[in-house]
Structure 1
Amino acid sequence: MDYERSFLIVVGVDGSPESISALRWAVDEARVRHGRVRLITSWSYPPRTADVDGEFIDDRSERGAERIQAVALDAVPSDGVALTGTIVQGPPASVLLDAADGADLLIVGSRGLGGFSGLLLGSVSSQLIHHAPCPVLVIRS
């Protein structure tokens, strides 16, 4: 298979339940389209990350993002799908907008781990909807 020309899905994972659902959806969609998935996790100073259970990780380095990605990859079976993970320093919206350049689809959870739990749409997903260079799918739990 020519992976350079296959359908590319970029998915943002921050450890929130919504982002794990987004990764599941991305892997399923890649299977249907014989595509590939690029999982992106960002971190920035001051880093404050959480794991899949929503518990904050005390690690203030890139290692927190590495753990989030490892947990996400363990939680979502990706048999038969070309799946790569990348960890990038920077604000989530900017990192995902850059990663979506050349992608066929960008998938994110409706809201991440921010403090406003009542919102239906988080600030990152809202920015992506308005500025992404490709279609955006927002997944709700």
Structure 2
Amino acid sequence: MLSPVVAGVDGSAESLAAVAWAAREAERRDRPLHLVHAWEWHPRRQERELAGAAQRHLARRFLDRAEERVRAECPDVPLTHEQTEGPATAALLKAADQAELIALGSRGLSGFTGFLVGSVALGVVARSTRPVVLVRAGEEAADEHLPAADESAPTDSGYRDVVLAVDLDEPCDEVIEFAFEAARSRHARLRAVHAWHTSAAVGLGPGEIALVEDAWQGEEWLGFLKAVLQVWRDKYPDVAVLETVVDDKPTTALVRAATGAGLLVVGHRLAERAVGPRTGPVTHAVVQHVGCPVAVVPHL
């Protein structure tokens, strides 16, 4: 049985946008779609039965709305759903373990485009062993496509770029493969970005300082990036690839690169820290501030 694309449902506008994105992704990947709604309720004992019935009714309404959105977007996608009582993060992580990927909604930040990522979404991103895609409220099918040159529908035009964040200090196959597969399924260009920092000076010995030429260092990084991606170019010959190296902070470079993109793909190392699972600083900052959907791909 094919693993499904999973979407979390909570009745909000952002979760409906994630459901619609997940439906389109399931269609692109020829996978079924599975909707999950979870609630956590702590009523007084004498009220538990009544409160549970009310919550189940509300869950059914949320799922019905989500199913209507799916059928409007992708009527032929196989669809299942579940509702469960318990911590939402735990329920979504359980569903994600059996999934191709999981899509969750995030609110747009007031004042500028971006994400306000709640505790549930961050908990899933930090712990999931499968890719997690964060989708902002208002995201629609047309947003994945390039502006049409004529009066045709925006969805008749090609897809916007898939942007891949590459850490050349430790390139990760899982992250790179996800991005190439996303670009292939969309017939989109893949734009691979690596950010590097200028070394102001390098000491060669007592009293000897040599400045490193920025252009030369950039060419070195670009050559390395092309070498890392060559095996993936060979595996995905139909995917057009543009390699870019940027002398800038990684967060700044990725937010800028994601402007006008259809999807940003970043990695997340699964590692237990003293304070427990959490996202790294670059991933955390990126998912807060970009406008397009963000795929966070876990790796060891």
TM-score bucket of the superposed structures, by smaller chain: 0.7 to 0.9
Count of residues paired in the alignment:
119
Alignment equivalent of 1:138, drawn from 134, 140, 155:
134
CA distance in 1, matches of 2:56, 2:3: 29
Which protein has greater RCO, CA pairs closer than 8 Å, 6+ apart?
1
What is the identity, as a one-letter code, of the residue corresponding to 1:64?
L
Paired residue for 2:98? 102
If each structure's helix is expressed as a fraction of its own residues, which one has the higher value?
2
| 1:7 Cα deviation from its structure 2 partner | 4.6
What is the identity, as a one-letter code, of the residue corresponding to 1:36?
P
What is the identity, as a one-letter code, of the residue corresponding to 2:97?
D
| 1:101 Cα deviation from its structure 2 partner | 1.1
Paired residue for 1:125? 121
1:75 aligns with 2:62: no
| 1:125 Cα deviation from its structure 2 partner | 0.6
CA distance in 1, matches of 2:67, 2:76: 14
TM-score (norm 2): 0.38
Segments of 4+ moved more than 2 angstroms:
none
| 1:46 Cα deviation from its structure 2 partner | 3.8
Paired residue for 1:63? 57
| 1:107 Cα deviation from its structure 2 partner | 0.6
Contact persistence 1:8–1:37 (CA under 8 A): yes
After superposition, the CA RMSD in angstroms is 1.7
Q: Which runs of 5+ in 2 are unaligned?
A: 44-52, 108-114, 138-300
Q: 1:99 to 1:7 in 2, by over 3 A?
A: closer
| 1:80 Cα deviation from its structure 2 partner | 1.4
SS at 2:7 equivalent: strand
What is the identity, as a one-letter code, of the residue corresponding to 1:71?
R
Contact persistence 2:33–2:79 (CA under 8 A): yes
SS at 1:80 equivalent: coil
CA distance in 1, matches of 2:38, 2:120: 12
TM-score (norm 1): 0.78
Identity %: 36
CA distance in 1, matches of 2:95, 2:133: 15
Q: Which runs of 5+ in 1 are unaligned?
A: 48-58, 112-118
